[in-house]
Amino acid sequence: MQVGLGFWDSKTLLSAVEMEVFTELARRPGTAEELQRRLGLHARSARDFFDALVALGFLERRDNTYHNTPATDRFLDKRKPSYIGGILEMANQRLFRFWNGLTEALRTGRPQNEAKTGGESFFAALYADPARLKEFLKAMTGLSHGANLAIANKFQWRNHRSFVDVGTAQGDLAVQVALAHPHLAGIGFDLPEVAPSFEEYAAQQGLGSRLKFIPGEFFADELPRADVVMMGHILHDWDLNQKKELIRKAYDALPKGGVLIVYESIIDDERRRNTFGLLMSLNMLIETPAGFDYTGADCMGWMKEVGFRDAIVEHLVGPDSMVVGNK
């Protein structure tokens, strides 16, 4: 029953993010009556809503006054640079309703997003709107920041001098690697529309001279050459042949002794434990024509097929792992 009615929990959190409950509480804690007025809630709903957030572990209540928890104060206050709620905003606006079409997707294999009704694709609309694109790229940083920090700290960067982050988005992976390893120079590679967000973020981190942006489309263009090629949350968007094509292009961009790092919510080889990775693959069913997530063994096999001499899987954080292929 808890799983079957899990959307109750999910939508309660998503609505709290939508109404900026955590941002408002970061400004000033309040009683149910005070928060009802500040947030514009109906008297019937307020107390149950706030107490449900307490029961779910997202708020604390002390002497009838509601406060953020340390985690929600850090990660769900929109005014803080640590905010990761952008991905939850997108889930609320788009994915929550699209997942209602999962049964149809399972039967037809067809996406259930904007493409289902012949509307403009989400990404076409996104890339045509600079302000909306900037917010989306920030949301992607929130989703991947923990894994980016882990890659910066776990991989043996001392043996390399340069890297390229393919599909870089705002550039948080490139930024975290460069911050941790001053001897490295890096490239962010993505569509031209991404350049302003990448360059602004790199400059904010004091990395404008060490990180540069190269515009391109990774199927149409050659990948920039570097000692290490990284692809985070990229391969799962595509079908098997396209996955192999991108791995082959990475191989061609590397020198002998170079390394490809692929990271996603890699599914465990027995396909039993990484629930998030398996559900992410269903999300690719909802969102893409042919994308899917995969196991570490799958990815290592594809790497060896194009010529990498060996590959390993290493856990990063949460559901994310990286597959490291050596040329």
Cα–Cα distances in Å, from 223 out to 101, 104, 115, 182, 230? 36, 37, 29, 23, 11
- 12 near 49, Cβ under 8 Å? yes
* Rg over CA atoms, the chain: 21
Considering the four listed CATH numbers 3.30.2350.10, 3.40.50.150, 1.10.10.10, 1.10.3720.10, the one that applies to the domain covering 6-80 is 1.10.10.10
pLDDT at 132 over 90: no
Other Cβ atoms less than 10 A from the Cβ of 292: the count is 19
- Which residue has 């947030």 as its token pair? 39
Q: What is the pLDDT of residues 167-200, one digit of tens each?
A: 999 999 999 999 999 999 999 999 999 999 999 9
pLDDT at 93 over 80: yes
pLDDT at 90 over 80: yes
- φ/ψ of 281, rounded to 5, equals -65, -40
pLDDT of residue 186: 98
User: Residue type for 105, please?
Assistant: A
* Active site annotation includes 236: yes
Superfamily classification of domain 144-326: Vaccinia Virus protein VP39 (3.40.50.150)
- φ/ψ of 206, rounded to 5, equals 75, 25
User: What's the average model confidence in pLDDT over 154-179?
Assistant: 97
Q: What is the pLDDT of residues 244-302, one digit of tens each?
A: 999 999 999 999 999 999 999 999 999 999 999 999 999 999 999 999 999 999 999 99
Q: Where do the domains of the chain lie?
A: 6-80, 144-326
Catalytic hit among 145, 233, 236, 315: 236
pLDDT of residue 78: 93
Annotate 222-249 with DSSP letters as a single string.
PPPP-SEEEEES-GGGS-HHHHHHHHHH
- Which residue has 């009838």 as its token pair? 64
pLDDT of residue 129: 83
